[in-house]
Amino acid sequence: MNFAIPASGFASVTSIESGDSYKGTGSTVDAYFSADVETDGPIPGPFSILSFALVYAGTFDGEKFQRPYSYDQTFYRELKPISDNFQPEALRVNGLDRDVLRQNGASPEQAMSDANHWVRQIAGHARPVLVAYPLSFDWAWLYWYFVQFSRLGSPFGYSRCFDIKTAVAVKAGIPISEASRSRLPMHLTSKHVHTHNALDDAIEQAEVFANVFEWGGER
């Protein structure tokens, strides 16, 4: 099902009073990273990240959004579980084997430190921003893991994040509960397939993010 855009158009949900608008300084650039995690349960700590991926997804300087020419700047790791707790249904979705990961997975300390270094290297002088759809699940897991295990904490600080679902709701002028990925119009979807492999899904999501960011919200 496609979203129905109100007759009044995108401006109706973005109009602001004169003098209240933000204006960038021109000195700040955001560097976006599409993130996907595959876990063995609903929350970090009692449960574990089994794999995660980060994909460079573009930059924005306050005036121009630049999507990458290809989504080949990627980071992917499979991790050792940090507890004995797991939900069988989560493993059925992602197809990962906890026993194999106990033997061959990366340590969370090494994986999160490597990810932190990679994000900062790719971002350069820009400020890294984590992107997900929806954001709440992936952000909660990655922020907790970065703080818990990375020597440098989170490269995204405590709040530099972008929720694609909220952007869709605002641009389409619809309730957040109707802005699910499954309802996206075709022109906003990705050519990549959603496979529940973290790297595949982060690449797919990066393309959706760029499509939504460039979308004017028109019918």
What pLDDT, on a 0 to 100 scale, did the predictor assign at position 162? Answer: 98
Using 50 as the pLDDT threshold, list the residues of the chain that sit under it.
Answer: 1-19
What pLDDT, on a 0 to 100 scale, did the predictor assign at position 5? Answer: 37
d(CA 151, CA 193): 34
What pLDDT, on a 0 to 100 scale, did the predictor assign at position 4? Answer: 44
Q: Do 89 and 217 meet the contact criterion of CB atoms below 8 Å apart? A: no
The CATH fold assigned to 28-214 is: Nucleotidyltransferase; domain 5 (3.30.420)
What pLDDT, on a 0 to 100 scale, did the predictor assign at position 196? Answer: 82
Tell the residue number behind the tokens 């991926």, with chain if given: 53
Average pLDDT, the chain: 89
